[in-house]
Amino acid sequence: MIAKGESDDKVLAAEARGVMRKKQAQLEEALAGKLNAGYRFLLKQRLEEVELLRRQIEEINTELARVMKDHVAVLRRLGKMPGIDLFAAQELLAKIGPRAAAFATADQFASWVGLCPGTQESAGACYSRRSAKGNRYLRRLLCQIAWAAIHAKRVSSRVCLHDCSRELRRRARLGLWRIASVR
């Protein structure tokens, strides 16, 4: 409404929704300032940009649904796993393929993602146990899925990590996906 030229603070405050409806007086006071034509023009452009982005997201989602139509069975199987929603299943499918044919074993997949701890030893002295860098986007996705699975109510063997240190919780998340990828 501001971008269209409305400047009456009472009319603008009346358009408030949700919790802001209870704060009419504060809204009227905040909206009491004046916007000149230049600011209205910039605001209108930003609103048009937001609308354009919404349309583009809708187009992308439509195209993604069309492309993923052939893989509905795989998406349903992935969706049954705790912590995996439709978007995570689509991203997993896009990254590794419907059959994960590039990986002969689950160990190779875990190594490619960077979930396997590395060891660098010489003469019995351990220099590093950092994980390989791997595919950082897929690793981040798998860690988010593992975190969601840990906190999901439908997990039968729920892992209680509330009293553990941050490092132990991080290792548990990585370990959960390491175990899930091996099976």
DSSP 68-137: GGGGHHHHHHHHTSTT--HHHHHHHHHHH-SS-TT-SSHHHHHHHHT-SBP-EEETTEEEE-PBP---HH
Going residue by residue through the chain (183 aa), what tens digit of pLDDT does each one get? 666 666 666 777 677 777 777 777 777 777 777 767 788 888 889 999 999 999 999 999 899 889 888 888 888 888 888 888 888 888 888 888 887 778 888 778 887 887 776 666 777 777 766 666 777 888 888 888 888 887 776 544 444 444 445 555 565 566 655 555 554
Q: How would you class 40 by CB atoms within 10 Å of its CB: exposed for 0-12, middle for 13-18, buried for 19 or more?
A: middle
pLDDT at 36: 76
**Bridge partners, 117 (sequence order):** 131
pTM metric for this prediction: 0.55
Q: How large is the angle between the packed helices 106-113 and 166-182, nearest 10 degrees? A: 140
107 Cβ partners below 8 Å, 6+ apart?
116, 182
**CA 116 to CA 19: how far, in whole Å?**
48
DSSP string, 1-25: -TTTT---HHHHHHT--GGGGGGHH
pLDDT at 161: 45
Cβ atoms of 93 and 168 closer than 8 Å: no
